[in-house]
Structure 1
Amino acid sequence: METKKVSIEDLGAVAVLRLSNGVTNAIGPELVETLSQTLGYVKKSYGGTVLAGGSKFFSIGLDLPNLLPLNQAQMRDFWYAFDRVVLDLFTLPLPTACAICGHAVAGGTILALACDFRFACSGRVFVGLNEVRLGLPVPYLADLMLRQAAGNRAATKLLYFGELVESETAYSMGVIDGVFPKTDVEKIALEKISQLSHDPKEAFAAIKRNRVEAVCERFEKYSKDKIDQLLKLWFSPKVQTLLEEAAKKF
């Protein structure tokens, strides 16, 4: 299955879902919509999935050059859609792994956090949530997922300082589950998911539901207020200036 922004590689019981939006795999409305559709297809057709990106960037994060022209109503629609597709990935009743062979920045790290397992390349591959450096809070769902994955103390350090850290550091903090040579990362991810895809689906889905339900309940309770807060800051003059400067790097 091929789309403009995402491809699905059929490997029997497991699918590789690959971001294919140019070198940077920037996340905008079209990629979000396509990812939502492909997740629905994977849910019906496979026993597990591996999310992968490019060799330079897993994903650079949000597509700032194309998001900055949006008005508040359009931006609100985008945030709701992005949150929903991340939640769909987080709650997918199948085993999921993320293979990170390029940098995963901000929104890229958010997609990785939504997977059950995260494996990254060794060397200078950076991950992290740098929103605070642009005057923004990390999206609420990402905050909750990071704290569940890495623990409160490690998550607080990453969120407060907004640093991008190398994969080995992310592994030591509990953000990444394993670091391997670049040629092995997808293979390791596929082996993990292949092993789990043969388990009884109903039992796995129930166990996963137990893991994600507390995050989901808290997110659903507060998500509207959190998005309102984020949008207020997004459209503030100071943050717009910071975002415009960041967009020049795309």
Structure 2
Amino acid sequence: MTYFQTEDRDGTIIVTLTNGERNTLNPDLLEEGAAAIQALGENPPKGGIVLTGAGEHFTCGMDTKVAASLDEAGQKRAIAAINQFAAALHRLPCALVCAVNGNAIGAGGIMMLCADWIYAATGHYKIGLPEAKAGLPFPAVPQAILDHWLEPAWRRRLALSSMLLKPNEAIGAGLVEATIMPGDLIDKSVAKAQEMNAQPGFGACKRQLRAKANAEIDAILSSSS
């Protein structure tokens, strides 16, 4: 079974991260995800992409048990996979909307920052970047994404305190545009992706907006290859 289920809804590809109860990440999943997202980037759907999670969670981030079990070679593979996956999301030429359906922890927050628009379902769950608490410092590409897309004061608060935010609090931090009733989350996310991608200048404006960050990401990947 693939970790990334896809559905074509009127020209918009819905990508659903699927891995057990908490949708945690591991090197196999990240490598599969990087390849899947890169393929979508090479043939971008006319209605853009919606990224969400299966079940009650968007993703609870890296599987800490898997991370603790990795030897040095495994750690290097995991870091490379995280960098490639985040880079693939960030480089997508079409509209990317995150439909956050539940807890978005650690890498989940980075995935949100890669998006062009973020809707979060209303509910009692948390969003944040508790890598300091987990003992998993940010790899280079996620750090570059943080540096470019999260306001400095919130970057400091979230990264150093490991504080977690409610969905409505994440709006104030710049991590979420609006909260949506859970039953409407996917439909509204698909509509937003289609609306954004239909703009004649969307692709050119996105390239301009992301040029500096993408150049930095390219340099990171080149230096680590």
TM-score, length-scaled by structure 1? 0.81
Identity %: 23
2:134 — aligned with what? 134
Superimposed CA distance per residue, residues 10-61 of structure 1 (whole angstroms, 9 cap, x where no aligned partner)? 1132100001111111111221122123213323151210001033211110
2:160 — aligned with what? 160
1:230 — aligned with what? none
Aligned length: 222
Q: 1:28 aligns with which of 26, 29, 41?
A: 26
Which stretches of structure 1, 4 residues or longer, exceed 4 Å deviation after superposition? 220-225
Q: In 2, are the aligned partners of 1:126 and 1:165 still within 8 Å (CA)?
A: yes
Cα distance in 1 between the residues matched to 2:172 and 2:59: 22
2:87 — aligned with what? 87
Q: In 2, are the aligned partners of 1:59 and 1:105 still within 8 Å (CA)?
A: yes
Task: Please tell me the residue identity of whatever aligns with 2:181.
Answer: P
Residue range with higher mean Cα deviation, 85-94 or 179-188:
179-188
1:104 — aligned with what? 104
Residue range with higher mean Cα deviation, 214-223 or 90-99:
214-223
- Structure 1 residues 222 and 11, CA, compared in 2 at 3 Å: closer, same or farther? closer
TM-score, length-scaled by structure 2? 0.89
Q: CA RMSD in A?
A: 2.1
Cα distance in 1 between the residues matched to 2:191 and 2:55: 20
Structure 1 residue 220: deviation in Å? 4.2
- Residue 13 of structure 2: SS of its match in structure 1? strand
Cα distance in 2 between the residues matched to 1:42 and 1:12: 16
2:17 — aligned with what? 19
2:181 — aligned with what? 181
Structure 1 residue 224: deviation in Å? 8.5
Cα distance in 2 between the residues matched to 1:89 and 1:142: 11
2:40 — aligned with what? 42
- Residue 214 of structure 1: SS of its match in structure 2? helix
Structure 1 residue 147: deviation in Å? 4.1
Q: In 2, are the aligned partners of 1:7 and 1:20 still within 8 Å (CA)?
A: yes
Task: Please tell me the residue identity of whatever aligns with 2:93.
Answer: P
Q: Could you list the runs of 5+ residues in structure 1 that have no partner in the other structure?
A: 228-250
- Structure 1 residues 150 and 82, CA, compared in 2 at 3 Å: closer, same or farther? closer
2:191 — aligned with what? 191
- Residue 123 of structure 1: SS of its match in structure 2? coil
Residue range with higher mean Cα deviation, 128-137 or 8-17:
128-137
